[in-house]
Structure 1
Amino acid sequence: MTPTDQPGRFATLTFTREVAAPLATIWQAWTAPAARAVWAAPTPAVTVEFLEADTRVGGREVSLCKVEGQPDIRCECGWLALAPSARSVNYEVVSTEGVPQSAALVTADFSGDGERSRLVVTVQLSALAADMEADMEAGYREGFDAGLGHLAAVATRTMVLERVIKAPRSAVWGAWMDPASLPQWWGPEGFSCRTTRIDLRQGGEWVFDMIGPDGTVFPNHHLYGEMRPQERIAYALLWGENGPKHADAWATFEEQDGATKVTLGMVFSTAAEFQTARGFGAEALGQQTLAKLERRVTSG
């Protein structure tokens, strides 16, 4: 018997999801660490903790799946290919208590038309531990089915805004990370910021009010998680200081021939909040905010 004939040790699984979201949105939901953290847990009993997240070719992602009373499951993902909105390829090694259990090559293909997208994920799987052979395929099938179901749901409440700013990435990052600059351009046209506290670092926060043209006050609280200088930030959006969370957000900064592509993504906590945001024109208002950032870094 050749190695490829050994039953239970090797499997190829294919998963297909039709998603009611644009292609750029499903791509961000699949690749952005802040979004992956929202949908990655297969069940409510599982908590996923991200230890590393470097989403670029050659980068890796390390996470722990935690279930009360059981050993943590460590998952290492290495990105081998990333063709935006088209294809990603990564390896995945799963370990328990330092012992590798399985390895997989995961290929995700994306296609879409307007407000609908299609995701096809192929998993080429190999068991590395003898006690993993019996239920390896069933476990992976159950886990990916659940995770991709959550991904499809998350994508339908995810908003993605993109803008190419004709300025170096260092200048765009600097305007975003400067506590004197950020309140000057943040928010749509006609809005202003009134800051209570601002601490722009990993683990920091920004407590502020957005004040509308008619004087209406909208309390805000940003809690900053990951910050990779000149690459990306992740933060939670709360309704007022220590109020309820209404979105997980991230911003990425990508060099493009001397310009900077800024992508701002938000996973709203509920579908209702997403629909409310779309209803009052959050996408157009967000583009106004990015336009103000552009004016800030290109005006002189």
Structure 2
Amino acid sequence: MSQIPATHSPDNEIVSSRIVHAAIDKVFEACANPVHLENWWGPDGFTNTFEEFDFRPGGRWKFIMHAPDNGNYQNECIFSEIIYPKLITWDRLSKPLFRMELSLSDIAPGKTKFGFRMIFDSPQECNKIKSFVINKNEENFDRLERELKTMI
């Protein structure tokens, strides 16, 4: 991705969110700790092999997503911003290219609004995956909720 457009609009974004029943620090831990993240990242049926997870601005996240149909998808990202416990932002270096803003908001004791904001260079790039990624993000959120229940 060359650079996020200075002015972006809903035409080049995919936004998904959910309220989860867990404290914000626990949800952040599920995102920041590769032991947990590896368990819930991706749509239903996918598993992950993390090759590198350097959780800091400028750090790399390299992993392979293994699809239930035996497909393997190499992913590489660079973390750009981390604000505990509210925001994790990264840029994908593998296609499809986009900036991911993972946001967390403390809305009540034991309740966190959790969201993905995927920002693409153009509406054309966004539209290539928009038709199916919204449902896949919901599957991802389901998996996050299951992982949160396993965390002490």
The structural deviation recorded for 1:263 is: 1.4
Superimposed CA distance per residue, residues 185-239 of structure 1 (whole angstroms, 9 cap, x where no aligned partner): 1000000111111111222111011111101111111110110010101100121
1:160 to 8, 15, 20: 15
C-alpha separation between the residues in 2 aligned to 1:211 and 1:232? 27
2:141 aligned residue: 290
What SS does structure 2 have at the residue aligned with 1:183?
Answer: helix
What SS does structure 2 have at the residue aligned with 1:181?
Answer: helix
Say whether the 8 Å CA contact 1:164–1:261 is kept in structure 2: yes
C-alpha separation between the residues in 1 aligned to 2:46 and 2:5? 33
Name whichever of 199-208 and 181-190 sits farther off. Answer: 199-208
2:112 aligned residue: 260
What SS does structure 2 have at the residue aligned with 1:250?
Answer: strand
For the pair 1:229 / 2:81, whether they are aligned, the reply is no
The structural deviation recorded for 1:155 is: 2.5
The structural deviation recorded for 1:294 is: 1.2
What is the total number of aligned residue pairs between the two structures?
148
Runs ≥4 in structure 1, deviation > 4 angstroms?
A: none
Q: Which residues in structure 2 correspond to 1:1-300 (within 5 Å)?
A: 38-40=4-6, 150-151=7-8, 154-239=9-94, 246-258=97-109, 259-279=111-131, 281-299=132-150
C-alpha separation between the residues in 1 aligned to 2:108 and 2:51? 38
Task: Give the TM-score taking structure 2 as reference length.
Answer: 0.90
More contact order relative to length (CA 8 Å, sep ≥ 6):
2
The structural deviation recorded for 1:296 is: 0.8
The structural deviation recorded for 1:184 is: 1.1
The structural deviation recorded for 1:39 is: 3.3
What SS does structure 2 have at the residue aligned with 1:180?
Answer: helix
C-alpha separation between the residues in 2 aligned to 1:196 and 1:264? 23
What SS does structure 1 have at the residue aligned with 2:143?
Answer: helix
* Counterpart residue identity of residue 52, structure 2: R
**Structure 1 residues not aligned, in runs of 5+:** 1-36, 41-149
**Structure 2 residues not aligned, in runs of 5+:** none
The structural deviation recorded for 1:245 is: 6.4
Task: Give the TM-score taking structure 1 as reference length.
Answer: 0.47
Identity %: 24
Greater strand share, 1 or 2? 1
* Counterpart residue identity of residue 174, structure 1: E
C-alpha separation between the residues in 1 aligned to 2:32 and 2:26? 10
* Counterpart residue identity of residue 254, structure 1: S
